[in-house]
Amino acid sequence: MLLIEFVHYRNTNSHITRTLFGRNIHPWVWNCYKVIGVFGFGMACSQLTTDIAKYTVGRLRPHFFAVCVPDVDCSKEEFKYRYIENFKCRNTDKHRLKDMRLSFPSGHSSFSAYTMIYLVIYLQARFVWQGSKLLRHFLQYLCFMMAMGTALSRISDYKHHWSDVLVGALQGALVAVLVVCYPFQHCTFAWRPILACTSSFMRGLLHVSH
């Protein structure tokens, strides 16, 4: 975002210098502060939502047995075909025992979805390139694939159930869209919403006075 804002600054003729505590703030620094500030606020909201859900639900991770090593012999008749509630973990690592109950939703999925969806929308609104128009879309595709790769890795390493990953990704993407569109109330949802939404967002973001 810093690089894109610098390129955007170099390609823009009109610049507004802001004053903070009697000091003039460079337009590029001011724009970066506001864009990254909104990004950081949304990231904090997304992470807080994820943590509240994790500690409220307490769903066991798929690798629960490998971490816990319960003192139950499932081959015995008394333990067959029944839900076992009373058991003790042989593993004494308190950190791992606590972490094994934080499966839902996936924090990695929500974080990667939020950051990458925000960047996809940001690139659509602010990335200016005189060459091939496909460069912007290629960068957006890379962002999307990084988010997807992170989400899929949480399933393949048995750290999360697929539903944990899905809900985490949806939550992160939703926060990204809300943070971009609603603070300035210039967004209307249609099938071609990105240009209208993000252009209004960035105009409001970069011209609102504090």
List 95, 137, 160, 210, catalytic entry = 160
Q: How many domains does the chain have?
A: 2
List 108, 137, 186, 210, catalytic entry = 108
Residues 136 and 74 in one domain: no
Q: Is 108 a catalytic residue?
A: yes
* Distance of alpha carbon 159 from alpha carbon 80, whole angstroms: 26
Residues 115 and 165 in one domain: yes
Position 148 confidence tier, pLDDT thresholds 50, 70, 90: very high
Residues 49 and 130 in one domain: yes
| Residue numbers of the domain that contains 79 | 64-99
Residues 47 and 143 in one domain: yes
Position 23 confidence tier, pLDDT thresholds 50, 70, 90: confident
Residues 77 and 91 in one domain: yes
**Mode of pairing for the β-strands spanning 18-20 and 23-25:** antiparallel
At which of 99, 126, 155 does a domain end? 99
Position 140 confidence tier, pLDDT thresholds 50, 70, 90: very high
Residues 191 and 111 in one domain: yes
Q: Is 160 a catalytic residue?
A: yes
- 8 closest CA partner among 108, 125, 86, 87: 125
Residues 116 and 187 in one domain: yes
pLDDT for 145 beyond 70: yes
Q: What is the DSSP annotation of 65-94?
A: HHHH-BS--TTSGGGTTS------BS---H
The lowest-confidence range among 53-57, 115-119, 128-132 is: 128-132
Residues 109 and 168 in one domain: yes
Element of type H or E holding 167: helix 162-181
Residues 114 and 195 in one domain: yes
Hey, is 136 helix, strand or coil? helix
Q: What secondary structure letter does DSSP report for 131?
A: S
